[in-house]
Amino acid sequence: MYEQQLEVTTKHGRMPCFVACPDGPGPFPPIIFYMDAPGTREELRNMTRRIARHGYICILPDMYYRLGTVRFDLPRRDDGMSGVIRASMNSLTIPYVNDDTAAMIAWLDANDKARPGPLGCVGHCMSGRYITSVSAAFPHRMMAAVSLYGVGIVTDKDDSPHLSLNKIKGELYYAFAEYDQSVPANVIPELKAALQKTDVKAEVEVFPGTHHGFCFAERAVYDTLAAEASWAKTFALWDRHLK
């Protein structure tokens, strides 16, 4: 497998990224992997490698690059660390992520290992909102987007991602945990109602008995069946639109 740690130049600076794809010249369909709130780490790089083994070129950006080098030792997580994680997460905005996505698309378009044309993406946790907003911002490129226990998708703000669903041309898959304190009870019904007002092809799924973060094997809430089911749905979506 081909792996590279590199920097993508954005309008805000140089953004470290991890890239993986199969050995060989390619080109391979491109996937952008938007991280969860605890940030880039080996667990996410292993997920990136899994995506690459399925026949894609996958780029994992360090979305906190504007803050410098931010890393968390999650096994030692306490209230103090959680506060810093929340502050890091709240430093991001939809315009920032859209700018970074434009830079990654430009980098992929210039890379001979990446197939030109449609892209896919996946976002865990805080990035559930961002896979929605980038799908609306780049409707003719982002054709297959996945949100896993995403937060902030439906808010009472003017820039709430669910308000931009009518701009999306691709297909969406939203997977939620049954028990998630970060997702208020109104979110899933309002998301479904907003989707029904559009022509967007989408699936909203709730995995019974699961908790926020159920795809992360290093967490106590890891649920093998739900994680593998969501991986299968994700790859099926990408394969339909990108292969």
> Comparing 8-17, 72-81, 151-160, 161-170, which segment has the lowest mean pLDDT?
72-81
Query: What is the pLDDT at residue 240?
Result: 97
Which is it for strands 119-124 and 30-34: parallel, antiparallel or unpaired?
parallel
ω into 27 cis (within 30 of 0): yes
The pairing of strands 57-61 and 13-21 is: antiparallel
The percent of residues in the chain predicted with pLDDT above 90, rounded, is: 90
- Give mean pLDDT, residues 23-50: 96
Q: For the residues 154-180, what does the mean pLDDT come to?
A: 97
pLDDT tens for each residue of 116-158 = 999 999 999 999 999 999 999 999 999 999 999 999 999 999 9
Structural domains of the chain sorted by starting position, each given as residue range(s) with its CATH number in brackets: 2-242 (3.40.50.1820)
| pLDDT tens track for 179-216 | 999 999 999 999 999 999 999 999 999 999 999 999 99
pLDDT attached to residue 25: 86
pLDDT tens profile 51-102: 999 999 999 999 999 999 989 887 888 888 888 889 998 999 999 999 999 9
Q: How many residues does the chain have?
A: 243
d(Cα 164, Cα 134) in Å, to the nearest integer? 10
Pairwise CA distance, residues 124 & 184, whole Å:
17
pTM comes to: 0.96
How many CB atoms lie under 10 A from the CB of residue 241?
Answer: 18
